[in-house]
């Protein structure tokens, strides 16, 4: 049995998902804007990446931009590429960080 993981972070902790993560085959990374000055975009990605690495995750990650009404300065392609670059760095950092209790 496999499942896709769609969860909104910010009010939950990635550690709460440990019991189901071995069943996850895909993770949806939705974003509305790209202001990561406080880590509100990269920190949840980093945290879930650390947890996924601990269970040997080899599935897919999907980026979805929901903020087309707010970001006028970028094209959809530019916004998605910027999110992927931010996510790529957070995933690499999280995947190389051991999980904590």
Number of H-type helices and E-type strands within the chain: 2, 3
Give 28-54 pLDDT, tens digit per residue.
888 888 889 999 889 989 999 999 999
Name the residue with higher pLDDT: 80 or 1: 80
Does residue 26 sit in helix, strand or coil?
Answer: strand
pTM of the model as a whole: 0.83
pLDDT in tens, 49-83: 999 999 999 999 888 888 777 777 888 889 889 99
Q: Identify the bridge partners of residue 6 per DSSP, sorted by sequence position.
A: none
Q: Using the predicted structure, report yes or no on whether residue 9 has a pLDDT greater than 60.
A: no
Structure tokens at 63: 């980026």
Q: Which two tokens stand for residue 84?
A: 């992927």
CB atoms within 10 A of CB 87: 19
Alpha-carbon distance 60 to 70, whole Å?
Answer: 27
């Amino acid at each position: 049995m496999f499942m896709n993981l769609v969860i909104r972070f910010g009010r939950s902790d990635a550690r709460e998902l440990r019991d189901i993560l071995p069943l996850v085959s895909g993770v949806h990374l939705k974003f509305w804007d790209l202001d990561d000055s406080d880590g509100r975009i990269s920190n949840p990605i980093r945290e879930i990446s650390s947890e996924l690495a601990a269970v040997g995750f080899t599935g897919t990650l999907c980026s979805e931009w929901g903020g087309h009404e707010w970001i006028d300065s970028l094209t959809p392609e530019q916004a998605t590429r910027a999110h992927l670059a931010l996510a790529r760095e957070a995933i690499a950092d999280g995947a190389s960080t051991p999980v904590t209790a």
